């Protein structure tokens, strides 16, 4: 039957075909995953060794028998081969039975943990699987098993070593499994990250295949690369066991977690959408913001008064509330003090207040209409900006004349992008390249290796909500807009403060410090002071204006005033139009069309 050439067998062993010949090799680097000494590159030998191992006597530990270690292989070969008259040993697999909820997994959800700006490895978000059981519906799936993938990083690894090994290779990675409440605690409670659960409409048979192969993968090891062979790549590969359509762009050398969900919602499975349901699992901070928005004016005043003076429960104003209204205030306060404790463990106010709040809450009955904590303005990742960008524009520069520009960006968004499905007004882009052409001369104007900015806006007037705005950028950039061959290498970091003006706007001030390669006497060090505002009068128009001045320290170069006015027109995920004005020595207009995928 030539089963060793079957696509499903190659998926189970994670074989990849060589580019120049028909030879295959597995991406799994753990020798214990293979039953043949040559199994990592010889599918036929591994198949023969697997069949022999299925008939081996059962030892004292049945979980070590091949039927229990490689459940997906065993299930598939039982389906493909005629086993009549051939009696393989009957092996009970207690480990797999416990892990698979004794066969009671009813569906699979792909979980997305939103981006986390406090850890470079989590900027793009994280992806894992949850195996949903019927019992899990009573506990929001907290006790259901998960399958996670990540690099194996030694404790105390220096930051620069961590980044270098993650990008260029140097770590192995593995699948792991814990009950979902651990991830919920880590992401939603401790790191204050929203999660989204995409439940898939798979058949029971395909759910069983994923569960079985997930169990096998717990003994596998892979090489790890942050940009491509990451959680998005491996989870998509696993789902590819039962879904034929790709979930990532196979032609691209990177794998963005958000892109997986773009594809998931578009895939058809057995004639119907693959994604059955999308559910927000809100962070502690999101739950507090949602509950705060649902309080009326009196309740918000009492909440603020309690934060200022935590004995407010004895006041006449509090006593005048209905029990349901009191409970709503206290529930919001519990989430408030808890997120403050998480954000700053040494916060004396948070640590001393929680007990009193809980004691007061115990005096009140359950709420008649408990809030579900879902923020209606939060949008799932597949509604946010697509990560890959090509932008073509026309330029009018008062020093260089008219020209053309080409911008390429593999990831992820800038502050003018759609705010849905991401942190509003933030910037997260890597390897953003801008080429310009003036008078038949094509030049590199800018290369942002990393460009990050987080405005840290508060959604309430309470202390601890929000924080300092910050940004970090390093790469290459033309020293000013009047020159062609004037690239400087630059590293810039800044801090400031941003405030919301309305639901559709914000203002900020920022102080930057930078170091650069010198140009025309500008020296190596400098500072910049900027003030700006961003408004979105409608979903189809977003505008940003920033005015500032660069000061070069210890140099003969004059200070440089800067102006940057940016506009986005269009609210689609696939295309928009940009109209920008910028002044750095020379003044320049740009009209450009952007395509996203």
- Determine contact, residues 302/313, Cβ cutoff 8 Å: no
SS3 of 86, please? coil
Q: Are strands 575-584 and 560-569 parallel, antiparallel or unpaired?
A: antiparallel
CA distance 213 to 232: 17
β partners of residue 366: none
pLDDT of residue 138: 52
SS3 of 9-50: HHHHHCEEECCCCCCEEECECCHHHCCCCCCCCCHHHHHHHH
pTM reported for the whole predicted model: 0.91
Furthest-apart CA atoms within the chain: distance in Å: 92
Task: Report the distance separating Cα 290 and Cα 370, nearest Å.
Answer: 12
Q: pLDDT value at position 136?
A: 53
What's residue 343's pLDDT? Answer: 84
Query: What is each CA distance from 246 to 112, 235, 261, 267, 419, in whole angstroms?
Result: 18, 12, 11, 9, 27
Instruction: Measure the CA–CA gap between 589 and 397, rounded to whole angstroms.
Output: 7
Both tokens assigned to 125:
């978000």
Residue with token string 């989204």: 196
Collapsing DSSP to helix, strand or coil, 134 comes out as coil
Would you call 45 helix, strand, or coil by DSSP?
A: helix
Tell me how far apart the alpha carbons of residues 259 and 112 are, in angstroms, rounded to a whole number: 11
Shortest CA distance to 106 belongs to which of 199, 243, 238, 234? 199
What are the Cα distances from residue 473, in Å, to 131, 198, 545?
A: 40, 33, 19
Read off the pLDDT of residues 102-130 as tens digits, 9 standing for 90 and up. Answer: 999 999 999 999 887 766 667 788 999 99
**Considering only CA atoms, which of 274, 236, 241 is closest in space to residue 252?**
236
Tokens of 123: 């900027």
Strand intervals (E) in 297-426: 389-397, 401-409, 411-413
CA dihedral 505, 510, 514, 519 (to 10 degrees): 70
Q: Are 62 and 90 in contact (CB under 8 A)?
A: no
**Burial readout 414-449 (b: 16 or more C-beta within 10 A, e: otherwise):** bbbbbbbbbbbbbbbbbbbbbebebeeeebebbbbe
- Identify whether the C-beta of residue 396 lies closer than 8 Å to the C-beta of residue 589: yes
Q: How far apart are CA 309 and CA 516, in angstroms?
A: 49
Interstrand relation of 411-413 and 272-273 (parallel, antiparallel or unpaired): unpaired
d(CA 596, CA 446): 20
Closest C-alpha among 70, 126, 133, 75 to residue 104? 133
Q: What are the per-10-residue average pLDDT scores of the chain (597 residues)?
A: 95 90 92 96 97 94 96 96 86 95 95 81 86 72 94 86 85 95 93 93 96 97 90 94 90 83 93 94 90 93 90 84 93 91 84 87 82 61 89 97 96 89 87 94 94 92 91 95 94 96 90 94 93 94 96 85 97 95 97 96
- Listed in order, strand segments (DSSP E) in 347-440 are 389-397, 401-409, 411-413, 427-438
Helix (H, G, I), strand (E, B) or coil at 514: strand
Other Cβ atoms within 10 Å of 313 Cβ, number: 17
CB atoms within 10 A of CB 251: 5
CA distance 561 to 531: 12
Neighbours of 543 (CB within 10 A): 17
How far from chain centre, in Å, is Cα 409?
A: 17
pLDDT at 143: 92
Helix (H) or strand (E) holding 523: none
- Give the model's pLDDT for residue 354: 86
Helix (H, G, I), strand (E, B) or coil at 39: coil
For the domain spanning 103-281, the CATH number is: 3.90.1720
> For 448, left (φ over 0), alpha (ψ -120 to 50), or beta?
beta
Sign of CA dihedral 204, 206, 209, 210: negative
Structural domain spans, the chain: 3-98, 103-281, 295-362, 384-596
Task: Please state, in angstroms and rounded to a whole number, the distance separating the CA atoms of residues 211 and 232.
Answer: 18
CATH label, 384-596, candidates 3.40.710.10, 3.30.565.10, 3.30.70.360, 2.40.160.40: 2.40.160.40
Per the document, the length of the chain is: 597
The confidence score (pLDDT) of residue 373 equals: 45
């Amino acid at each position: 039957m030539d089963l060793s050439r079957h696509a499903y067998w190659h998926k189970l062993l994670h074989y990849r075909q060589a580019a120049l010949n028909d030879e295959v090799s597995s991406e799994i680097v753990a020798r214990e995953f293979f039953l043949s000494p040559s199994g990592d590159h010889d599918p036929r030998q591994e198949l023969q060794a697997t069949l022999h191992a299925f008939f081996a006597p059962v030892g004292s530990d049945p979980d070590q028998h091949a039927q229990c270690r490689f459940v997906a292989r065993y299930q598939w070969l039982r389906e493909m081969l005629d086993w009549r008259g051939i009696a393989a040993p009957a092996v009970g697999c207690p480990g797999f039975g416990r892990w698979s909820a004794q066969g009671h997994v009813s569906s699979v959800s792909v979980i997305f943990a939103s981006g986390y700006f406090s850890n470079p490895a989590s900027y793009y978000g994280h992806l894992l699987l949850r195996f949903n059981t019927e019992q899990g519906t009573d506990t929001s799936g907290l006790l259901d098993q998960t399958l996670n993938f990540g690099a194996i990083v030694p404790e105390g690894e220096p930051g620069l070593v961590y980044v270098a090994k993650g990008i260029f290779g140097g770590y192995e990675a593995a699948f792991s499994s814990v009950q979902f409440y651990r991830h919920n605690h880590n992401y939603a409670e401790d790191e204050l990250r929203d999660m989204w659960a995409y439940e898939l409409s798979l058949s029971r048979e395909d759910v069983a295949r994923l569960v079985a192969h997930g169990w096998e993968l717990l003994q596998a090891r892979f090489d790890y690369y942050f940009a491509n062979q990451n959680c998005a790549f491996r989870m998509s590969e696993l789902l590819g066991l039962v879904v034929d359509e790709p979930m990532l762009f196979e032609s691209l050398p990177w794998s963005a977690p958000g892109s997986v969900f773009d594809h998931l919602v578009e895939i058809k499975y057995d004639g119907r959408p693959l994604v059955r349901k999308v559910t927000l699992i809100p962070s502690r901070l999101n739950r507090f913001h949602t509950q705060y928005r649902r309080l009326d004016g009196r309740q918000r005043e009492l909440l603020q008064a309690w934060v200022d003076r935590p004995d407010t429960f004895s006041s006449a104003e509090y006593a005048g509330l209905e029990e349901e209204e009191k409970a709503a205030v206290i529930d919001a306060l519990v989430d408030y003090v808890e997120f403050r404790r998480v954000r700053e463990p040494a916060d004396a106010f948070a640590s001393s207040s929680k007990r009193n709040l809980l004691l007061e809450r115990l005096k009140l009955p359950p709420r008649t209409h408990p809030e579900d904590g879902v923020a209606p303005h939060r949008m799932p990742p597949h509604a946010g900006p697509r990560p890959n960008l090509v932008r073509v524009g026309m330029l009018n520069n008062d020093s260089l004349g008219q020209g053309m520009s080409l911008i390429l960006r593999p990831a992820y968004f800038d502050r003018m992008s759609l705010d849905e499905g991401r942190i509003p007004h933030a910037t997260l882009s890597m390897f953003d390249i801008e080429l310009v052409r003036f008078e038949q001369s094509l030049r590199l104007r800018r290369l942002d290796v990393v460009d990050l900015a987080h405005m840290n806006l508060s959604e309430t007037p309470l202390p601890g909500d929000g924080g300092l705005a910050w940004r970090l950028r390093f790469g290459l950039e033309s020293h000013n807009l009047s020159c062609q061959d004037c690239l400087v290498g630059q590293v810039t970091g800044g801090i400031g403060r941003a405030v919301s003006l309305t639901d559709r706007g914000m203002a900020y001030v920022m102080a930057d410090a930078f170091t650069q390669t010198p140009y025309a006497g500008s020296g190596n060090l400098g500072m910049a002071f900027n003030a700006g505002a961003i408004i979105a009068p409608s979903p189809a128009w977003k505008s940003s204006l920033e005015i500032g001045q660069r000061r070069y320290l210890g140099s003969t170069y004059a200070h440089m005033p800067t102006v940057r006015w940016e506009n986005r027109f269009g609210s689609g995920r696939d295309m928009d139009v940009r109209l920008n004005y910028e002044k750095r020595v020379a003044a320049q207009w740009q009209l450009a069309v952007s395509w996203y995928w």
